[in-house]
Amino acid sequence: QALSGPAYMSLLVAIGRARHWKQVKAVFQYMLERLGDSPLPSSFFMHLAYRRVQEQQYLPALEVFEWYRAKGDPPSAASMELFIRLSTHAMIDGLDIHENESHISLSDWYRSSDV
């Protein structure tokens, strides 16, 4: 029997709290295949990205931003602020993500938005 959107969200939150990021990705991709769209609110993605930035997991945080963009909603001001924080912290910690293809693509996405 298929899970509902809220059930997937609860499952993803539980897995994320345990910091099993590969499983979060697998469940998220499975959910998209089963439901065809993400029922998750934007705040879910921002919380997940925020946790990754806190843990200095900058490249995986970029991946969360990619999931957020794939959701199809326009970017929010809060997501842009977190994206800038991610970029700044990565630079301070010596990781030059500005040449990363995903970072460039996301930067263009934010620049082309109304945010």
Q: Look at residue 8 in the predicted model and tell me its pLDDT.
A: 76
Largest CA distance in the chain: 47
Q: Look at residue 79 in the predicted model and tell me its pLDDT.
A: 93
Residue 103 phi/psi, 5° resolution? Answer: -65, -45
Q: Look at residue 87 in the predicted model and tell me its pLDDT.
A: 92
d(CA 79, CA 45): 9
Q: Look at residue 1 in the predicted model and tell me its pLDDT.
A: 57
Q: Locate 13 and state its tokens.
A: 């939150």
| Secondary structure string (H, E, C) spanning 95-106 | CCHHHCHHHHHH
Burial (CB count <10 Å: 0-12, 13-18, 19+), residue 6: exposed
Low-confidence ranges of the chain (pLDDT < 50): none
Q: Look at residue 37 in the predicted model and tell me its pLDDT.
A: 65
pLDDT in tens, 48-57: 899 889 989 8
